[in-house]
Amino acid sequence: MSEQNASPAEIEALVGSFCDDLRRLREEMAKMIVGQEEIVEGVITSVLGGGHALLEGVPGLGKTMLVRTLAECVHATFSRIQFTPDLMPADILGTNVIVDTPGGGKQFEFQRGPIFANIVLADEINRATPKTQSALLEAMQEGSVTISKNTYQLEQPFFVLATQNPLEMEGTYPLPEAQLDRFFFKLKVGFPDRHTLHTILDRTTTDEPPVPQPVLDKQRILEMRQLVRKVPLARNVQDYAVRVLQATHPDTPSATEMTKQYVRYGGSPRGVQAVILAAKIRALLEGRYAVSIDDIRHVAPPALRHRIILNFEGEAEGVDPDQIISDILERTPEAI
C-alpha cells in the first residue's frame, strides 16, 4: 500500500482478498474437520488477532487434528507438546548440550525445543507443574526464549493452542488467573451431534482420508494481521465494548446483579483488546469496513469467559461465566 490514501478499489480488493483467503482456509480445514465451525472460526480469529487460544474439551474431539490441519493449511511448522507432570521447562524450550568441535574440543550448543515452531499444540497444559507452564507462557508473552543469557526469537507467526481437559481434576495444576489472561480466546469444544458423527465416520473410516493443501503462507498471515489492525471502529462501538468490560467488575456502577453476586474479579484491559481485535476480524469476514456492536456481542464470550473470576458463591453455585456474560450483554444498553 502506498503512503497516500488507498483508492476505494484498492481497499475493496484488500478486504475482498482477505475474505477470500479466509474462506479458502476454512474450506480446506473443513476437509479434515467436520462441524465445529465456531471452534475453527475462533482458532483462526486467534491466529489473526496475534494471540493464542485455549481449548477446553474432552479427549477425542479432534483438537490435535484441528491444529495440525491448520498448520498444514498455513504451510507453517507445527509441533505438539504433550504436557505431563514430569515435563520440565527445558523439554519445551530446549537446552544446551555438549558437542564436539572440529578442533577436537567441546562446546555447548543450544538444541531448540519443540516451542520453536510456528504453531504449537500444548496438550493438556494443566497437567504440567506451574514452573513448566510458566516457561511456555513466558515464551507466549515475549515471543522469545532466553536460555543462559542468550535470547532466541521465535519465528512469527507464533501461535500456541493449549488444551485443557475438563475431566482431569486429580493431579492437575489449573492455570492461575494471571496466566489465563494471556490467552486471546477460550473455546469450548462440544461433543458432535449425530449428523456430524456420521460424517466423521464416513470420512475417517474409509480408505483414503483427505489431505489438506496449503492455501496460505506465513507471510500472508502476517499481512492479514496487519490489515486487521487497520479496521476502524466508531467511538460508540468502542464505548459499548468498554462498558461491557466494566460491567464484569462487581464494584463498578454498571455491574449487573449477577456480576455483583457471583464475580470476584472482572476482565482486564487485555480482555477488551481481545474483544476489539476479534470484532475487527469478524467485521472483515462479513465484508464490512468497520466494527459493529453485533460484532462485539459475538466475540465477547470467548474473549472474556476465562477472564472472569468467580467468587466463593459463584463457584459453589456452579455458575458458568458464559451466563454472566450473556446477562451483561443483555442488560448493557447499546447507546447512552
The answer to whether 77 and 256 have CB atoms below 8 angstroms apart is: no
157 preceded by a cis bond (ω within 30 of 0): yes
Shortest CB 249 distance to another protein, Å:
19
Candidate ranges 17-25, 87-95, 146-154, 227-235; the one touching another protein (CB under 8 A): 227-235
* Shorter beta-carbon distance to another protein: residue 1 or 99: 1
Residue 263 makes contact with another protein by CB under 8 A: no
User: Residue 18's closest CA among 232, 288, 204?
Assistant: 288
* Shorter beta-carbon distance to another protein: residue 143 or 176: 176
Burial of 136 (0-12, 13-18, 19+ CB in 10 A): buried
Candidate ranges 65-73, 170-178, 208-216, 263-271; the one touching another protein (CB under 8 A): 170-178
Q: How far apart are CA 30 and CA 210, in angstroms?
A: 10
By DSSP bridging, strand 159-164 and strand 144-147 are: unpaired
Place of cell 480488493: 13
By DSSP bridging, strand 159-164 and strand 119-123 are: parallel
* Shorter beta-carbon distance to another protein: residue 67 or 180: 180
* Shorter beta-carbon distance to another protein: residue 13 or 99: 13
Any idea what the Cα angle at residue 48 is, between residues 5 and 308, rounded to 5°? 120
Residue 235 makes contact with another protein by CB under 8 A: yes
Q: Which of 133, 165, 179, 254 binds another protein (CB under 8 A)?
A: 165
Residue 162 makes contact with another protein by CB under 8 A: no
Residue 35 makes contact with another protein by CB under 8 A: no
Residue 110 makes contact with another protein by CB under 8 A: no
Q: Which of 44, 128, 231, 299 binds another protein (CB under 8 A)?
A: 231
Q: CB-hemisphere CA count at 13 Å for 236? A: 7
Q: Which three cell numbers, joined as nine digits, stand for 180?
A: 489465563
Interaction residues for another protein, span 70-109 (CB under 8 A): none
User: Residue 69's closest CA among 217, 213, 281?
Assistant: 213
- Contacts to another protein by CB under 8 A: 1-8, 10-12, 14-15, 56, 58-60, 165-170, 172-175, 180, 190-191, 227, 230-237, 258, 286, 288-295, 306, 310, 312, 314-320, 334-335
